[in-house]
Chain A
């Protein structure tokens, strides 16, 4: 697994770091492209409900998240990805 747990800081420190450090997948792997046609890869960035996973969770950088959001929007408009999934 990538990254290690960061050391907890002293009592006085307001900011505590939890969990592992998140790295933008697309920055880490320069060969990975974001394509609306490649909906199988985009699926990792949407929830079961079809919503886009926020970047505070996925760890994407701002630039790549924007590109990703555009790709998801395009995939949705040609019914490769759902806007929302029924039931649940």
Chain B
């Protein structure tokens, strides 16, 4: 039975284009040899991490989408764990019992390291940007305490 999975892989920020493409091909070949259906792999580029991982401030994010048997993600993660370039990975099961014919597979493109600087600093989310933010909600919260005192 085929299920739909997605895996996000974080690579070390100093890897070049070649190891990046190698990793992409490796992911695809693992999915193929394990009898899965590889759907697509997208490159999110080099992102600033919300916290340091092994002294790295940035990482290259890859996102793979594929169908496969329940043991496929396990085998894929085992391989990712062996690689030295991989900082972290996370697999999420998306849909159960997917018909392979219903999903379109995209060709693997050659990837390039995209230097993407984060537009916003994650540590200080700008509250004023949210038009319907929680600025007013604080009043409600205080109200909650008054309520108890009545």
Q: Measuring CB to CB, which residues of chain A are less than 8 angstroms from any residue of chain B?
A: 1-2, 14-20, 22, 25, 36-37, 39-40, 43-44, 46, 48, 50, 53, 56-59, 74, 76-83, 85-86
Contacts and interface: CB of A to CB of B under 8 A. Distances in A.
5 contacts: A19-B137, A79-B59, A82-B51, A82-B122, A83-B50
The 4 closest A-B pairs by CB, nearest first: A18-B143, A19-B140, A82-B50, A79-B49
Interface string B114-142: 00000010111100001011101111111
Contacts, number: 84
Nearest to A87: B123
A53 to B, nearest CB: 7
Interface of B: 8, 10, 47, 49-51, 53, 59, 61, 63, 88, 90, 92, 120, 122-125, 130, 132-134, 136-144, 146-147, 150
B141 A57 contact: yes
A76 B122 CA distance: 12
A19 B143 contact: yes
A74 B50 contact: no
Most chain A beta-carbon neighbours within 10 Å: one of B8, B63, B92: B8
Contact of B122 (A14, A74, A81): A81
A57 B137 contact: yes
Contacts of A37: 8, 63
Contacts of A17: 143
A43 B146 contact: no
A74 B91 CA distance: 10
Contact of A78 (B90, B136, B150): B90
Nearest to B58: A79
B140 A22 contact: yes
B50 A80 contact: yes
B128 to A, nearest CB: 12
Nearest to B140: A19
B123 A85 contact: yes
A17 B144 CA distance: 8
B144 to A, nearest CB: 7
